[in-house]
Amino acid sequence: MTNHLSRLVPLILVAGVLGLVVNATWAGTPVTGETLLQLLVFGLPVAAIYAVNAAGLVVVHSATGIFNFAHGAIGMICAFIFWELSVNRELPLWLSLVLVICVVAPLLGVTLDVVLMRRLKHAPVMMRLIGTVGLMVALMGVARLVWSPQNSYPIQPLGSLGGIEIAGVVLTWSRVITLCITLGLAVALHLLIRMTRLGVAMRAAVDNEDLAALNGISPTRISSLAWVIGSVTAATAGILIAPEVGNMSVEAMSLLVINSFAAAMFGRLRSISMAYVGALVVGLSLTFANQFLTFEGRWVGVPSNLPLILLFVVLLALPQAQLPTGRTLRSYPVERLPSNRTVVTWALVLLAVGGLLAMFASNVLLGRLGNGVALAVILLGMVPLMGWAGIPFLAPLALAGVGAFVALWAGGGVPTLLLAGAATGVVAILVALPALRLSGLSMALCSVAFAVVFGALVMQQPEILGNQRRISDLEFFGVDLTDPRHFLGYAVLVYLLLALVLVAVRRGAYGRRLVAMRDSEVAAACVGVRLLWTKASVFGLAGVVAGIGGALLVQGARFGAVEQFPMVFGLTLVLSTMVMGIGTVSAPMAAAMMTVLFATLVQDWAPGPFTSSLELLAPGLAVLALIDMPRGQIPMFADLFRRHPSRGAVLVGTGVLAALVAAWLGLPGGVAVVLVVLAAVTGLILATVVEARAERLPDPLLRKPIGPAQVISIDHELRLSSVPAALPAEVTAR
Amino acid sequence: MSVSLLRVSSVSVRFGGLRALDDVSLDIRPGTITGLIGPNGAGKTTLFNVVAGIQRPTSGRVELAGRDVTRHAPQRRASLGLARTFQRLEVFGTLSVRENLLVGAESRRRWERSVRPHAIVDDVLTRLGLGGVEQALADQLPTGTQRLVELGRALATGPRLLLLDEGASGLDEHETAQMAALLRTLADEEGLTIALVEHDMPFVMGLSDTVVMLDHGQVVAAGTPAEVRSSAAVQAAYLGSSTTAGGA
């Protein structure tokens, strides 16, 4: 009953709001047979492109269990290759099309599968979710490297000008071609999945890969086929949608796929035909909005965000899944709690480095560092939410934006941090409430949709952050915080304070409950943990911290604007934090400092396409590397560090050496301090790696459970002629 | 005549066309040990899931200590004194053994203000002989020990009714005997009511006061171990007469 109610209430609300919006924005176009026909003429080609993308998403997800956030980015790369061939190299259009769709895309699919996806399939849940986000960001980095954002990349529509006239409007030849290609692809896909042996095998593998393997169906072939289908659909949709976009940009092309997410979720990522229905709904409602409604002024962003609003609605309407039992979901280890000594030591180190930098660094670098520490505070909010409770939330900057707004609204002074934190906490809980019953992927998708919609429709408003707001002066007990030195110290203090609070929280009963809930929701519920309350409160906690971070960010910049909180940047920040180890409170600082380093590289030291693409490429690729070390860099090195006999000596030694070199080269003070810290850390890492090699540590990361299929393959490798009659109890129990 | 602690009345669960439970009724009196037996797929775990609140029954009623809890969430049933272990292990793998038990003991504070979680955990750790591994991560322990951790976590919530889903599988002969002794003590001396699903027949028959046999989602026999052992349905299911062999 309550379950039905909780699903119905948001739906009724949304329907009501939609009704009001449609009523208020009605453009006055009469609804006649002719205008409705026009709706179809314009809407169907768009819907067809969404349908192709959605089908690809469904096939890949149902065959491999991976939701491909990078689907759009694959399409983007293929569209750029199409541009390269057809415009830059002046090949005939049809040849370029065939080359990209029949050669490049399948190759890309197989490569992705072999290099990455097969391993990702067995990675912990959070990795499976974030892995393809990493791939998306990395592909965007590659594209930026090859096709500089400074140039323009127009794609000509396929087919000549003119077309067929229907109901007073022209269905252009390019749209006719679009309809033909997408229809052909849909038929081919249907035949492949329903009629061929491989297609049937693909459906069998969804249910039980090991069983399918025992029956002689190769899971690797199935997975490759799925990724080929995924890439081909992405490429087709990318190339077909490019002329509609006009001038292609890396980001817009990669994110367009989000429109298809709603369509794919219509079929709950299982049914291709329902996904087609979804695509029709999305495509037609977009066209409907463009044709019959007018959105002006502040609401100009509504039509383009309609698919995301639909995605929201679809996700919220998903039925409550039963609590999963049997541990099919595998999580990654959470860090052991740091000792008091460790916490105090590193807090002092951080203060000391901050102090040194404040003494020696230039104002530009100090400004960037202050900004970086504010980002670190925002990311700190993700530690309890993602790291401990295991809830994938990819919109940290949306929460930060709330904090920024509240702080600016209240004047921007130091005490407004608390107000910003409290308000953001409340907003986070309110936003999370309807989504709390969602798990894993749905939550991740919901957060992406939230980030985009919230950014475009709420933060964009002139009263919120659409118009730049300034903070004139900032002081605390007589200390002038507009001085970047003072601000850095202040920001570091805020970070430390919050980190200490979080460590205390993790050590207490509440922190244990969060981890328990992540490890097994069903067991947590059965010992009396209130799941909804625990999830809502951890959103609140994340909101408080991220809100304070957002307020800090605008205090440091002394202005606030919507541009400070872009969605993709938020994604890369989350990825970087995961690379560092999102279960630790030090990871946000390390991740933020990486972005400071990249910013310095791009803006001061080596401006150019390489470094600017590195900003995306590095976190993206690093996340992919995480598959092999899901705990992240910091915990891994911390483990090795603990075992290193002469860690103190190495740290101090490399640091002193670097200081001498810096003095000898006459480097400016700030750079020298950064260099010393980097050198000391690098020296330590190298030393621990050398030590670890010498110790020949056994691989502690046997993450893949051994199933019957693996036993057979091991037997095969060992050339044991037959499978033992009875598998050991330990193996079969899995 | 004492009142039932758990009363399951005419519970049915349907998954599509499959009847996992078909009009199952069951009464469990306080302080007793009830053994649930039956072939694989007979509906034993589904029944536990219904009692624990993880699976909503299609029809029927579940009462705990006289209160209708059919629509209660698992966490609310836990606060009424229900605890369980799982057939497929559900330990909090990345927490230490002590922390696993603490989570149980700490949520108990919600309905029993005066408890001191660490004292409870110390007590349970000693009882189950887990003192030596209390700092180990639960994931890294052998299956048998993980089962004990689950039992410990359940006991730490201070339950009145404990559901053990194959709690003794993965234990060796000696450990099984210890487990039986422990359960007997808990039932006799502390009045804990226990329902257990187990495939080890001597274990169930030796330990239980009442045995209930399920097959194809229906109760086919119930009574004392001796009565059930001699019933025709049990003979048919376990010795393989024509119709019921195999189960669903």
pLDDT digits (tens, 9 = 90+) for A359-400: 888 888 899 999 999 999 999 999 999 999 989 999 999 999
Q: Which CATH number fits domain B1-81+160-248: 3.30.465.10, 3.10.129.10, 3.30.450.20, 3.40.50.300?
A: 3.40.50.300
Residue A395 in contact with residue A447, Cβ under 8 Å?
yes
Q: State whether A513 and B88 contact (CB < 8 Å).
A: no
Q: Is A527's Cβ below 8 Å from some Cβ in B?
A: yes
Q: State whether A513 and B103 contact (CB < 8 Å).
A: yes
What confidence tens digit (pLDDT) does each residue in B203-228 have?
999 999 999 999 999 999 999 999 99
A8/B211: higher pLDDT: B211
Instruction: Tell which phi-psi region holds residue A216, choosing left (phi > 0), alpha (psi between -120 and 50) or beta.
Output: left
What confidence tens digit (pLDDT) does each residue in A511-566 have?
999 999 988 999 999 999 999 999 999 999 999 999 999 999 999 999 999 899 99
HSE-CB of A234 using CA atoms within 13 angstroms? 37
Can you tell me the distance from the alpha carbon of B202 to that of B217, in angstroms, rounded to the nearest whole number? 23
Average pLDDT over residues A692-719: 57
* pLDDT at res. A29: 77
What confidence tens digit (pLDDT) does each residue in A170-190 have?
888 888 888 999 999 999 988
Chain B residues whose CB is inside 8 A of the A522 CB are 54, 74, 86, 90
Range with the largest mean pLDDT of A39-48, A633-642, A719-728: A39-48
Which among B74, B157, B213 is positioned nearest to A325, based on CA atoms? B74
Least confident of A342-346, B84-88, B112-116: A342-346
Q: Is A325's Cβ below 8 Å from some Cβ in B?
A: yes
Q: State whether A1 and B71 contact (CB < 8 Å).
A: yes
Chain A residues whose CB is inside 8 A of the B156 CB are 527
Distances (CA, A) of B68 to A1, A199, B14, B34: 16, 49, 21, 21
Interface test with A, best of B44, B45, B82, B106 (most A CBs within 10 A): B106
Chain mean pLDDT for chain A? 83
| Residue A455, pLDDT above cutoff 90 | no
Distance from CA of B139 to the nearest CA of A (A): 9
| Residue A724, pLDDT above cutoff 90 | no
Can you tell me the distance from the alpha carbon of A229 to that of A74, in angstroms, rounded to the nearest whole number? 12
* pLDDT at res. A4: 64
Q: State whether A527 and B88 contact (CB < 8 Å).
A: no
Token duo for residue A301:
């962003």
Q: What dihedral do alpha carbons B180, B182, B183, B184 form, nearest 10°?
A: 80
Token duo for residue A614:
């590195």
* pLDDT at res. A697: 42
Residue A232 in contact with residue A117, Cβ under 8 Å?
no
* pLDDT at res. B248: 34
Question: Which chain B residue shows the shortest CA-CA distance from A701?
Answer: B140
Residue boundaries of the structural domains of chain B = 1-81+160-248, 92-158
Among partner residues A522, A527, A530, which is closest to B83 by beta-carbon distance?
A527
Token duo for residue A434:
């309807």
A485/A674: higher pLDDT: A485
A328/A152: higher pLDDT: A152
Can you tell me the distance from the alpha carbon of B62 to that of B70, in angstroms, rounded to the nearest whole number? 5
Among partner residues A512, A520, A525, which is closest to B75 by beta-carbon distance?
A525
Can you tell me the distance from the alpha carbon of A352 to that of A340, in angstroms, rounded to the nearest whole number? 18
* pLDDT at res. A50: 94
Q: State whether B94 and A322 contact (CB < 8 Å).
A: no
| Residue A214, pLDDT above cutoff 50 | yes
Among partner residues B94, B104, B111, which is closest to A331 by beta-carbon distance?
B94
Amino acid in the structure at residue B11: V
* pLDDT at res. A376: 97
Which among B42, B87, B58, B74 is positioned nearest to B217, based on CA atoms? B42
Distance from CA of B153 to the nearest CA of A (A): 8
Distance from CA of A334 to the nearest CA of B (A): 6
Interface test with A, best of B92, B112, B165 (most A CBs within 10 A): B92
Q: State whether B74 and A516 contact (CB < 8 Å).
A: no
Q: State whether A523 and B86 contact (CB < 8 Å).
A: yes
Which among A652, A650, A704 is positioned nearest to A123, based on CA atoms? A704
Q: Is A522's Cβ below 8 Å from some Cβ in B?
A: yes
Residue A349 in contact with residue A466, Cβ under 8 Å?
no
Token duo for residue A703:
């993450």
Strand duo B218-223 + B210-215: pairing: antiparallel
Token duo for residue A471:
């903070």
- How far from each other are the two terminal CA atoms of chain B, in whole angstroms? 37
Residue B203 in contact with residue B180, Cβ under 8 Å?
yes
| Residue A44, pLDDT above cutoff 50 | yes
Per DSSP, B54 falls in state S
Per DSSP, A332 falls in state P
| Residue A49, pLDDT above cutoff 90 | yes
What confidence tens digit (pLDDT) does each residue in A319-369 have?
665 565 544 445 555 566 777 788 888 888 888 888 888 888 888 889 999
Q: Is A331's Cβ below 8 Å from some Cβ in B?
A: yes
Q: Is A436's Cβ below 8 Å from some Cβ in B?
A: no
* pLDDT at res. A313: 81
* pLDDT at res. A722: 45
* pLDDT at res. A678: 78
Give the SS3 label for residue A440: helix
Token duo for residue A322:
């039963």
A219/B173: higher pLDDT: B173
Per-residue buried b or exposed e for A40-55, using 16+ beta carbons within 10 Å of the residue's own CB: ebbbbbbbbbbbbbbb
Can you tell me the distance from the alpha carbon of A210 to that of A122, in angstroms, rounded to the nearest whole number? 13
Q: State whether A523 and B170 contact (CB < 8 Å).
A: no
Can you tell me the distance from the alpha carbon of A313 to that of B114, in angstroms, rounded to the nearest whole number? 45
Which are the contacts of A381, defined by CB distance < 8 A and separation ≥ 6? A396, A399, A541, A542, A543, A544, A545, A546, A547, A549
* pLDDT at res. A351: 87
Other beta carbons within 10 Å of A140: 28
CB pairs under 8 A between A and B: 107
Among partner residues B74, B90, B104, which is closest to A327 by beta-carbon distance?
B90
Q: State whether A527 and B93 contact (CB < 8 Å).
A: no
Can you tell me the distance from the alpha carbon of A161 to that of B223, in angstroms, rounded to the nearest whole number? 85
Per DSSP, A433 falls in state G
Can you tell me the distance from the alpha carbon of B51 to that of B45, in angstroms, rounded to the nearest whole number? 10
* pLDDT at res. A695: 52
Distance from CA of A734 to the nearest CA of B (A): 8
Can you tell me the distance from the alpha carbon of A540 to that of A544, in angstroms, rounded to the nearest whole number? 6
Least confident of A204-208, B83-87, B101-105, B178-182: A204-208
Can you tell me the distance from the alpha carbon of B105 to that of B120, in angstroms, rounded to the nearest whole number? 7
Which are the contacts of A690, defined by CB distance < 8 A and separation ≥ 6? none
A47/A478: higher pLDDT: A47
Question: Which chain A residue shows the shortest CA-CA distance from B46?
Answer: A325
Q: State whether A516 and B75 contact (CB < 8 Å).
A: no
Per DSSP, A324 falls in state P
Distance from CA of A347 to the nearest CA of B (A): 25
* pLDDT at res. A435: 81
Among partner residues A515, A522, A529, which is closest to B107 by beta-carbon distance?
A529
SS3 string of A262-300? HHHHHCCCCCHHHHHHHHHHHHHHHHHHHHHECCCHHHC
A661/A228: higher pLDDT: A228
Q: What dihedral do alpha carbons A140, A146, A151, A154 form, nearest 10°?
A: -70
| Residue A317, pLDDT above cutoff 80 | no
Token duo for residue B29:
């009196």
H or E segment to which residue A672 belongs: helix A669-695
Residue B182 in contact with residue B194, Cβ under 8 Å?
no
Can you tell me the distance from the alpha carbon of B198 to that of A332, in angstroms, rounded to the nearest whole number? 31
Q: With bands split at pLDDT 50, 70 and 90, how would you rate the model's confidence at B2?
A: low
Token duo for residue A566:
């872009």
Q: State whether B104 and A730 contact (CB < 8 Å).
A: no
| Residue A168, pLDDT above cutoff 90 | no
Q: Residue with structure tokens 């209240």?
A: A410
Strand duo A169-172 + A163-166: pairing: antiparallel
Q: Is A524's Cβ below 8 Å from some Cβ in B?
A: yes
- How far from each other are the two terminal CA atoms of chain A, in whole angstroms? 36
**Helix extents (H) in A68-153:** 71-83, 93-98, 105-112, 118-120, 125-146
Residues of B at the A interface (Cβ-Cβ below 8 Å)? 49, 52-55, 71, 73-75, 78-79, 82-84, 86, 88-95, 99-100, 102-104, 106-108, 110-111, 117, 137, 139, 143, 150, 153-154, 156-157, 170
Residue B163 in contact with residue B5, Cβ under 8 Å?
no
Give the SS3 label for residue A473: coil
Query: ipTM strictly over 0.90?
Result: yes
Q: State whether A528 and B79 contact (CB < 8 Å).
A: yes
SS3 string of B5-43? CEEEEEEEEEECCEEEEEEEEEEECCCCEEEEECCCCCC
Report angle CA A157, A256, A152 to the nearest 5 degrees: 50
Chain mean pLDDT for chain B? 89
| Residue A166, pLDDT above cutoff 80 | no
**Helix extents (H) in A529-668:** 531-557, 567-580, 587-600, 609-625, 633-643, 647-665
Quote the percentage of chain A above a pLDDT of 90. Answer: 34
Q: Following DSSP, what letter does each residue of A6-63 receive, concatenated?
A: HHHHHHHHHHHHHHHHHHHHB------HHHHHHHHHHHHHHHHHHHHHHHHHHHHHHH
Chain B residues whose CB is inside 8 A of the A332 CB are 94
Residue B205 in contact with residue B229, Cβ under 8 Å?
yes
